[in-house]
Amino acid sequence: MNALQVSQVNKYIKDLISRDFLLNDFWVRGEISNFKNHSSGHMYFTVKDESSILRCVMFRAYCSNLRFIPANGMKVIIRGGVSVFERDGQYQLYCHEMQPDGLGALYAAFEQLKLKLKDEGLFDPGIKKKLPAFPERIGVVTSCTGAVIKDIMNVSLRRFPNASIVLFPVSVQGSSSAREIAHALDVLNKNRSVDVIILARGGGSLEELWAFNEELVARAIYKSQIPVVSAVGHETDYTISDMAADLRAPTPSAAAELVVPDAKELKWKVDSLRKEMVLAVQSRVSDCRSRLQKIENSMPLRQPYEKVYQLRMILDLNHKLIQRNIALRIRESRDRLRSLIVHLNSLSPLAVLARGYCIASDYSSGKVIKSVKQVCRDGQVNIKFADGRAECKVVDIKGGQHEF
């Protein structure tokens, strides 16, 4: 018996499948299950419908082109080719491209990316940049063929003719549009040739607006040093670009109105300020004139010496009062001096001598003799009288009390 080896069978089947044109490149629709995002960057999963499953693998090189994160239960459309994994004898779909199937899946992908970028802080209000008050050059990233650029130019030039529009044409729909938009934002930032950037396109379905929900575009907006205004779709449309931008406008025309000031309104404000300034100056001048008139009619200016005269009169009164007080003090001091003199004279030894008394002192030392014990016989003493003195010789000394 001529038996084949297992590997030969698997290889033969693989060759048969590889020669099938349909199985080499086709699209398949199904629901993801058993999803595994391997650390190598490859994705392993199965797609299923109501009755069958198909094993799938998507290598890292193709995974990098995904615009959403696959998950169990998500309905997708996959392009790829079937081949046999010879070792296990299993056939599987090698995925080259994957898209969400239907609006529900697209919305799920939208919500996934929105939550991811929000957690990273790309939508934080604190990092939003203020728009310049008077932009001279406005960069517009949009299609060059649509009505969007015409609307922006018409509104901008009507409101503020001094501003100039710099168009950076990109495709706003299709597989390459996200890369073109991110590239445009990068170039405008490197050149620093504009003051503000408007990222715009007209309305459309969720699929048509999907380029503005791409992570690549959101990160380019976040990285931009120039303020970015997002104006994608109609007022009810909301994209990832709107959340990442510094300002969201409901329509491209509204973006132009937000970016450029209204020259007529500015002129009206300037005229109003000029009128207010004139009124303020007139009011100030009127107040100063009134104050000047009050000063001119005041007493110091009408009778400038009146105050001097009053002060002089007060000075004269004070001078007289001082003189009167000085004279009074002198008279009181003189009376007191007389009283002291009288009292002093009453205590003076000279007054005692004048009444007939005299003072005896030692001839040699001049000390006052208060007792007979201080003299001796034949000694000399001085006797002081009220009108002179006499030198005497002691003839006799008698002690005790003697009558005068």
**Residue 31 confidence (pLDDT) above 80:** yes
Picking from 217, 250, 218, the residue whose alpha carbon sits closest to that of residue 231 is 250
Mean pLDDT of 26-37: 91
Mean pLDDT of 140-158: 89
pTM: 0.52
**Which of 4-18, 51-65, 136-150, 356-370 is the least confident region?**
4-18
pLDDT category of residue 400 using cuts at 50, 70 and 90: low
pLDDT digits (tens, 9 = 90+) for 299-313: 777 777 777 888 889
Mean pLDDT of 324-328: 93
pLDDT digits (tens, 9 = 90+) for 70-83: 888 888 899 999 98
**Residue 404 confidence (pLDDT) above 60:** no
Amino acid of residue 27: W
Mean pLDDT of 379-389: 84
Mean pLDDT highest for which of 68-72, 336-340, 354-358, 400-404?
336-340
CA distance 176 to 171: 7
Percent of the chain scoring above 70 in pLDDT: 97
pLDDT category of residue 184 using cuts at 50, 70 and 90: very high
